[in-house]
Amino acid sequence: MAVVSKAIVRDSDGYVLNVCSIDESVTDWPNAGESLVAYAVGCEIGGSWDGSSFTRAPVVQPTRTMVLMHECMNLKKYDRDNGTEENNYLVDKTADEIKAEKTELAALLKTAHESEDLSADQLNMRVRLNIEGY
């Protein structure tokens, strides 16, 4: 019995849900609406299967909100003058730059919240920025 890689594919649209290592003798998948397909070039989670070949998942470019969320979550700056870490400052940014980014992020999150398009992480960041006065 050899172990092989197979893709778990949603039957309705060919979306690759997952990739797993499984005994090569397993051909049936217990979940309705899903099938096992032998792993091949181009197979990756988020990609698609058209019945004969895999297509890689599309590359998603980060949005401005995603970039600012990342920046505001990484709040340590290395002080090059004395070799220590300081809290509450982003790497190589002035206090004015940090304030401007937090203000922009607060506005973006407010708009997303009003349109009910806010993830849990974004909602937590919105609350945090609100507490900080943004």
Q: 70 and 119, same structural domain?
A: yes
Domain boundary among 14, 35, 55: 55
Residue 111, domain extent: 64-131
Residue 16: CB partners within 8 Å, gap ≥ 6?
A: 7, 8, 9, 43, 44, 45, 46, 47, 48, 49, 54, 57
Q: 73 and 99, same structural domain?
A: yes
pLDDT tens digits, residue range 28-55?
A: 888 899 999 988 888 999 999 999 999 9
Q: Are 36 and 22 in contact (CB under 8 A)?
A: yes
Q: 115 and 70, same structural domain?
A: yes
Q: 112 and 71, same structural domain?
A: yes
Note the pTM of the prediction, 2 decimals: 0.51
Q: 77 and 119, same structural domain?
A: yes
Q: 89 and 120, same structural domain?
A: yes
Q: 68 and 46, same structural domain?
A: no
Domain boundary among 35, 55, 75: 55
Q: 89 and 116, same structural domain?
A: yes
Nearest 5 degrees, angle CA 69-CA 129-CA 85? 65
pLDDT tens digits, residue range 58-95?
A: 888 889 999 898 888 775 555 545 555 555 444 566 77
Number of domains in the chain: 2
State mean pLDDT over 15-21: 92
Q: 72 and 116, same structural domain?
A: yes
Q: 77 and 123, same structural domain?
A: yes
